[in-house]
Amino acid sequence: MQLGWREAKAFAIGALGFVAAAWAAAQQASAPEEPPPKFDKAYLSNARNLEVGKDVWDQQCRHCHGKSAYPGKAPKLDPGKYTPDFVYDRVTYGFGKMPPWKDVFSIEQRKAVTAYIKSDNFSP
């Protein structure tokens, strides 16, 4: 039995969708969640952590979340509403259109940017 071009196109799209779904499932399976780090007052106020966190913010985050970011690109942050665990989770695993940064930044960098966002020094 020969397929017409419409049927072949539908089959190809379906096959690509299946492959994409399988790839996404494999990626999730190969990247287990890390246990959340503990954020205590000493860690959150450590000057070195805040410096590293500001570097990560300036390097990556401010382009979407900062004052000069294109309006509507990403939400402006309101750190007073967030717990450190919430910030770390969003930075690590992403949310909505925000990509996960787990494979880009180290645990220490992700913890540090969390400390910076939660600090009095934070300035979007």
CATH code of residue 112: 1.10.760.10
Instruction: Report the pLDDT averaged over residues 43-61.
Output: 96
Tokens describing residue 71 = 């309006």
Of residues 71 and 49, more confidence is placed in: 49
Q: Do 25 and 71 belong to one domain?
A: no
**pLDDT band for position 83 (cuts 50, 70, 90):** very high
* pTM check: above 0.85: no
Domain with 62, as residue range(s), is 35-118
- Dihedral, CA of residue 66, residue 69, residue 74 and residue 80, to nearest 10: 20
Are 60 and 11 in the same domain?
Answer: no
The whole-number pLDDT of residue 22 equals: 46
CA angle 98, 101, 106 (to 5 degrees): 160
25 shares a domain with 77 = no
Beta strands in 24-86 (DSSP E): none
User: Does residue 6 sit in the same domain as residue 65?
Assistant: no
Same domain, 25 and 40: no
For residues 40 and 79, membership in a common domain is answered with yes
Would 123 be classed as within a structural domain? no
Q: What does the pLDDT average to over 6-11? A: 52
Determine phi and psi for 122, rounding to 5 degrees. -65, 130
pLDDT (0 to 100) of residue 123:
84
**In a shared domain, residues 68 and 39:** yes
Q: What percent of the chain has pLDDT over 90?
A: 56
